[in-house]
Amino acid sequence: MHTAKTIKINMYNKKDKLVIFDTTLRDGEQSPGASMNVSEKLRIAKVLEKLNVDVIEAGFPIASKGDFDAVFNISSNIKNSTICALARAIDKDIDAAGEAIKPAQSSRIHTFIATSEIHMQKKLNMTKDEVINQAVKSINRIKKYTDNIEFSPEDAGRSDFDFLSKIIEKAISAGANTINIPDTVGYNIPSQFGDLLKKLIENIPNSDKAIFSVHCHNDLGLAVANSLSAVMNGARQVECTINGLGERAGNASLEEVVMTVKTRQDIFSCDTRIDTKHIVPASKLVSSITGFPVQPNKAIVGANAFAHESGIHQDGVLKHRETYEIMKAQDVGWLENKLVLGKHSGRNALKTRFSEIGYEIKDSGELNSLFEKFKNLADIKHEIYDDDLHALISNTSADDNISFYNLSSIRSISDSKSDPHSIVVLEKNKKCFESESNGGGPVDAAFKAIEKIVNSESVLQLYSVNNITDGTDSLGEVTVRIEKNGIIVNGIGSDTDIVIASAKAYLDAINKLSNKSNILHPQLDHV
């Protein structure tokens, strides 16, 4: 036994591949308000494929028809990444996942069941033996659909070590070739979590038959640190998301994990195959689709990540970049935001540039609609940047659905001697609806006027404004978050006029709210 353990430890001393498992489309979507439609998920999946992400967890097929369709669609279109579907350890989940991944050239099913005492007693109402039997049964059922099987003992970080070791050993024997250790509630700290991975690999007799993975949440701000500690102790897959998106405080950030491993090859005995120049475009795409702005001081992808204000720092960088920069901005996709298109550019140029920044436009109707909006923007703004294009397309998906409300026109009046007043005209199913209202400001008046028409009975939880590019003619991007009966959605809108952008964002949220199907939460529903 001593010899076997030595072999297991030493096998990680060579340069190994670190598998990047992206769950932006599944766990990332569980961020309140971050739900995406099928076409938006496919756009993100294509950018993840450009990144060379090894495994894309495309969704939770049993959760809703929309989730099933998204996984199926992504499985049909993505060729260079493994497509994974999540399933609880029950037959109906596994069968739905199996059907959803059928078109994939490379597929995986990821199943899970809770192993901590609190989860088994309070959530599952199952004994330890019942949990083990259910896990083994589920893994055997997955073999009907794929031999690429991932098993997660949910809440592993708070599970009894001996029981955790036992169920993992049984799962590997049953056919699981990836074992994921989730820090489900972000409870662990790096030294503790790394030690857990090391002990599991050393003590489980058949641990060499599987890749050990980690899935860390950021409740204490330690998701990336815990993930990297696990990697240094034998884990060879990290589950992460673009921008650290995810439920509650989020997941381990893909860009931070990847760039840490890449930058510190002096201490990491593994590396990823991620094409890092696509990191920033991926970050911007996810931000524009979900409506979750990236904080300026966010590592790697924040606007200030490579900015130097201190005179000492500026002087040092000018003399020698590496005095204050440990990586090149260009390596992660930060390029000069140069002018790429103008009012005289044609459809093909627009289509080509959209493709370069991650949007494949195949439908001529969609292209014509985007081209018309582009021309209108070019008449106002003259200088069109990539960030403008991201914002332009983010407002398109709902516009083309006749079952949604569209903003036909808006007129706002605001002066120092009278209450702000807005008159809005909305269109739905080719019918126009007009309303007007006073408010505390022109935006408030616009929202109240819209509400008189839509009567959503929702509560506004967040209103945020960001400029997309520099200058007084910059597009303003507005994010709103509304809630109704426990359902939370984000809406985004952009325009050179902030009142119009606000109205677009509010309508986007209203449309999402009305179209929101009942989605099962993969961690809250009982097995």
Of 95, 63, 99, give the one whose Cα is nearest residue 83: 99
Q: What is the mean pLDDT of residues 240-248?
A: 94
Question: From residue 332, how far is each of 167, 282, 328, 335, 360 by CA, in Å?
Answer: 40, 10, 7, 9, 22
473: exposed, middle or buried (Cβ count in 10 Å: 0-12, 13-18, 19+): exposed
Residue 210, pLDDT > 90, answer yes
Structure tokens at 192: 């503790």
Which of 49-53, 294-298, 485-489 has the least mean pLDDT?
485-489
pTM of the model: 0.80
Q: What is the pLDDT of residue 211?
A: 98
Give the rounded distance of the alpha carbon of 473 from its chain centre: 30
How many C-beta atoms lie closer than 10 Å to residue 398's C-beta? 22
Of 289, 512, 498, 277, give the one whose Cα is nearest residue 390: 289
Number of residues written out for the chain: 527
Confidence of residue 62 (pLDDT cuts 50, 70, 90): very high
115-155 pLDDT tens trace: 998 888 888 889 999 999 999 999 999 999 999 999 999 98
Confidence of residue 329 (pLDDT cuts 50, 70, 90): confident
392-419 pLDDT tens trace: 776 654 444 445 899 999 999 988 888 9
Which of 188-192, 375-379, 449-453, 522-526 has the least mean pLDDT?
522-526
Q: What is the pLDDT of residue 233?
A: 98
Q: Helix 91-100 crosses helix 128-142 at what angle (to 10 degrees)?
A: 30
Structure tokens at 422: 């807005």
Q: b/e per residue, 108-128, with b = 16+ CB within 10 A?
A: bbbbbbbbbeebbeebbebee
What's the rounded Cα separation, in Å, for the pair 418 and 423?
15
Helices within 14-119 (DSSP H only): 38-50, 65-77, 91-100, 117-119
CB-CB contact of 492 with 508 (8 Å): yes
Task: For the chain, give the percent of residues with pLDDT over 70.
Answer: 85
Give every CB contact of residue 122 below 8 A, 6+ residues apart in sequence.
none
Tell me which amino acid residue 426 is: L
Q: What is the pLDDT of residue 7?
A: 37
Give the rounded distance of the alpha carbon of 369 from its chain centre: 27
Q: What is the pLDDT of residue 63?
A: 92
What's the rounded Cα separation, in Å, for the pair 53 and 43?
14
CB-CB contact of 55 with 512 (8 Å): no
Q: What is the pLDDT of residue 31?
A: 82
How confident is the prediction for the chain on average, in pLDDT?
85
What's the rounded Cα separation, in Å, for the pair 203 and 166?
10
What's the rounded Cα separation, in Å, for the pair 238 and 22?
8
Task: For the chain, give the percent of residues with pLDDT over 90.
Answer: 55
